[in-house]
Amino acid sequence: MTDTSPPAAPAAAPSRRRLSLAWLGLVPFALFVGLFLIAPTMKIVIGAFQRADGSFTLENLIGLFTPSILASYWISIKISVASAALGALIGFLMAAAMVLGGLPRVIRAPLLTFSGVASNFAGVPLAFAFLATLGPLGLVTVWLRTEFGINLRAHGFNILSFWGLTITYIFFQIPLMILIITPALDGLKREWREAAQSLGATATQYWTSVALPILFPSLLGTFALLFANAFGAVATAIALTGSSLNIVPIMLFAQIRGDVLGNPHLGYAMAFGMILITALANILYIWLRTRSERWLK
């Protein structure tokens, strides 16, 4: 029997997808990122491999291994590690008390709102606040000396020192830790605790055997982010310590501003080293956060 049905019409060519106008909303952000992030970063990277006449050289990178510059990197790393460790510990305890400790829920919103503001409070205003509070003539310093006879300077504390800058950094490290670790704590399922309790586990055993192993990637990743956050802080360190503490941002500023012994291209190389260190810390944070999200989904 012959097929008398009409031949099938040829398939219509797929229409080209029109570019959505919604993408135009990203244009201002893309321009901002390109002009104030990508372009300056590329200038730093290129300048690290150039001489004053624009020719290629590796002398600037070799100059990073001089004792004074290595010492500044080491001090910056120690400050970043100390502030990240203390900020992570205190912030984790505060977030755990808020999420799992049975505190009133009315505390959560104000604490998270304050954390969002305080985590971005840095630079000259933060340096001034700590100088006005814990400086040689700061409010707390004078109050402790007049009311209790406690002289912080006599006990070795100086706001313009290693621990002074570390404490200043902790002010924005703790709120950042609270903001990042709170969703991870929210992801701990109640069934896990109930299952551990039904098997006879104590609260300590639950935390050491269940909760902390699950939270470990988030904790380590957040520590890496806090380290990068402190290592890249420039304005606060310069405004607070000036030239009294030999850290990378201060030495970099001295090189780029063109003093008698200044070498802008060596400053570019120092900035390039900071970019590499902070980039590695952020990559570690992203990788660990991705791993932790697998458990918390």
Q: Given this model, what pLDDT does residue 89 score?
A: 95
**For the chain, what percent of residues have pLDDT higher than 90?**
34
Q: Given this model, what pLDDT does residue 93 score?
A: 94
CA angle 250, 253, 259 (to 5 degrees): 115
Query: pTM of this prediction?
Result: 0.83
Q: What is residue 84's three-state secondary structure?
A: helix
Q: Given this model, what pLDDT does residue 19 score?
A: 61
| Phi, psi for residue 278 in degrees, rounded to 5 | -70, -35
The full set of domains in the chain, from first to last, is: 66-123+158-296 (1.10.3720.10)
Instruction: Supply the mean pLDDT for the chain.
Output: 85
Residue 140, pLDDT > 70, answer yes
Question: How does pLDDT run across 232-247, given as a tens digit for each residue?
Answer: 887 888 888 777 778 8
Residue 82, pLDDT > 90, answer yes
Question: How does pLDDT run across 268-278, given as a tens digit for each residue?
Answer: 899 899 989 98
CB contact set of 61 (below 8 Å; sequence gap of 6+): 48, 49, 269, 272
Report CA-CA distances (Å) from 266 to 12, 47, 70.
Answer: 62, 9, 13
Question: How does pLDDT run across 84-98, given as a tens digit for each residue?
Answer: 999 999 999 999 999
